[in-house]
Amino acid sequence: MNKMVEAIVSRIEQNVVEWRRDFHKYAESAWTEFRTTSIIAQHLEQLGYEIQLGKDILKDEDRMGLPSETELSEHYQRAMNQGAIEKYLPSTKGGFTGVVGILRCGEGPVVGMRFDIDAVDMKESDSADHRPVKEGFASVNDSAMHSCGHDGHAAIGMGVAVVLAELKEQLKGTVKLVFQPAEEGVRGAKAIVGSGILDDVDYMFASHLGSGTPTGILACGRGNFLATDKFDVFFTGAPAHAGGAPQKGNNALLAAATAVVNLYAIPRNSNGATRINIGRFNAGTGRNVIAPSAHLAVETRGQTTELSQYMYNYALRILENAAAMHGCSIKLKAMGGAQSGKSDEKLVQRVYEVAQKSNIFSEIYTEPGRGGGSEDYTYMMTRVQENGGLATFMGIGADLGGWAHHTAEFDIDEAALSKGVQIFSLMALDILG
Ligand SMILES: [Zn+2]
């Protein structure tokens, strides 16, 4: 089995790199992955996968942190100008991006694999030393850059699709390859889960490239993700003349400021780590006007889903009462969210054994690693685990040339891509073989 996978992967290795570079060049951020989706969809369909798109794989109300209508339609147009495959576009209109490819190979377990496909909202470095600039695949879209490696994730998924399609005769069961939109800001996974597409999954896999580990390392089951809620708060008060009749206004700026100071004063929790941050605060209209409106961008996190809920509930009470103090009202808008999550020991062990038998990685770990970040794959993990299945999140080492994720100089060691294709493919074969 190893040999067959190895042979296919070495044959398509260069394609995988080219796919990654193509996605990198035409980077699309959350809910605007129109071109990316269409290319993956065509690839899957040509390989014989049944494909599902749009509202079949996304629950509308659970999509969080959507860009404006204008942005969505501008980027839809941009995708058409940048070579999107038109056949697949209509169902993605309005930000219903992402695609699921299903390979049915008779009776047997269902294996789900998640590959996130979105870029980060930022501009890529134009330095002549930056490899994507040097080799001509830097992002041509000013507002989007693959600075997290999801271009690599998408390319790995396309590679896995080829391997499994070619080895279809060896498989007994079903493969679901989930190309997820909007992982950045943890906005997309909940909607995928909400569609029910993962309800029959028995084994679930996902991974991240890099994340501080060099090429050649495999972490079989990361965990310790912080649960998080990301939300916008809109304060509404009433304007008044600041000199003539300040008492007639309801000061939304003051209400929001009161809230900010007190949000950072939420007590620690003895049950574990918690976080809160207010990353943005806008308010008011003019110097001599009592501010009638204010906006806060807030995020809360917790080591467990319960701790995150503690932070969220406490924050909500502060926001409501700070608003009430100054006669204002608030409206909340969910912008993103993730649960905490843990890889299943049993599946982690199985990945370890498969990886050990292959010669793909130089170092293999089973420890969950350090926490601190959030990942919305946790919604998928949790759903599969609740249904009695097993899930894991792998870390696939990739050198980053000394740069960190989400920086303008970010670039991944492409040698890690084929390793990713191999381990995902081998896991599918191990379970369905
Ligand atoms: Zn990422």
For residues 196 and 415, give the distance between their C-alpha atoms in angstroms, rounded to a whole number. Answer: 35
Q: Is 74's pLDDT higher than 80?
A: yes
At the top level of CATH, which class does the domain 228-337 belong to?
alpha beta
For residues 406 and 246, give the distance between their C-alpha atoms in angstroms, rounded to a whole number. Answer: 44
Average pLDDT over residues 64-92: 97
- Number of Cβ atoms within 10 Å of the Cβ of 248: 11
Q: Is 131's pLDDT higher than 90?
A: yes
pLDDT tens, position by position, 80-117: 999 999 999 999 999 999 999 999 999 999 999 999 99
The CA-to-CA distance between both ends of the chain, in Å, stands at: 9
The alpha carbon of 84 and the centre of ligand 1 are apart by a number of angstroms equal to 23
**Distance from the Cα of residue 339 to its chain's centroid:** 13
The alpha carbon of 375 and the centre of ligand 1 are apart by a number of angstroms equal to 8
Q: What is the pLDDT of residue 371?
A: 61
Dihedral, CA of residue 298, residue 210, residue 9 and residue 106, to nearest 10: -40
Average pLDDT over residues 335-358: 95
The alpha carbon of 147 and the centre of ligand 1 are apart by a number of angstroms equal to 8
Q: What is the pLDDT of residue 224?
A: 81
pTM (predicted TM-score)? 0.93
The alpha carbon of 56 and the centre of ligand 1 are apart by a number of angstroms equal to 25
pLDDT tens, position by position, 219-262: 999 888 899 999 999 999 999 999 999 999 999 999 999 999 99
Please enumerate in sequence order all residues whose Cβ is within 8 A of that of 249, keeping only pairs 6 or more positions apart, or say none: 237, 238, 239, 240, 242, 289, 290, 292
The alpha carbon of 230 and the centre of ligand 1 are apart by a number of angstroms equal to 17
pLDDT tens, position by position, 18-61: 999 999 999 999 999 999 999 999 999 999 999 999 999 999 99
Name the helix (H) or strand (E) containing 25.
Answer: helix 2-25
The alpha carbon of 150 and the centre of ligand 1 are apart by a number of angstroms equal to 6
Please enumerate in sequence order all residues whose Cβ is within 8 A of that of 229, keeping only pairs 6 or more positions apart, or say none: 299, 300, 308, 311, 312, 334, 336, 337
Q: What is the pLDDT of residue 311?
A: 98
The alpha carbon of 417 and the centre of ligand 1 are apart by a number of angstroms equal to 15
The alpha carbon of 208 and the centre of ligand 1 are apart by a number of angstroms equal to 7
Q: Is 374's pLDDT higher than 90?
A: no
The alpha carbon of 406 and the centre of ligand 1 are apart by a number of angstroms equal to 9
The alpha carbon of 118 and the centre of ligand 1 are apart by a number of angstroms equal to 9
CATH code 3.30.70.360 region(s) in the chain = 228-337
Average pLDDT over residues 314-339: 97
Beta-bridge mates of residue 235: 294, 330
The alpha carbon of 196 and the centre of ligand 1 are apart by a number of angstroms equal to 24
pLDDT tens, position by position, 269-308: 999 999 999 999 999 999 999 999 999 999 999 999 999 9
- Tell me how far CA of residue 122 lies from CA of 144, 147, 184, 297, in angstroms: 5, 8, 12, 18
CATH code 3.40.630.10 region(s) in the chain = 2-225+339-432
CATH topology for 2-225+339-432 is: Aminopeptidase (3.40.630)
Percent of the residues in the chain that have a pLDDT greater than 70, as a whole number? 99
Assess contact for 184 and 120: CB atoms under 8 A: yes
Q: What is the pLDDT of residue 369?
A: 73
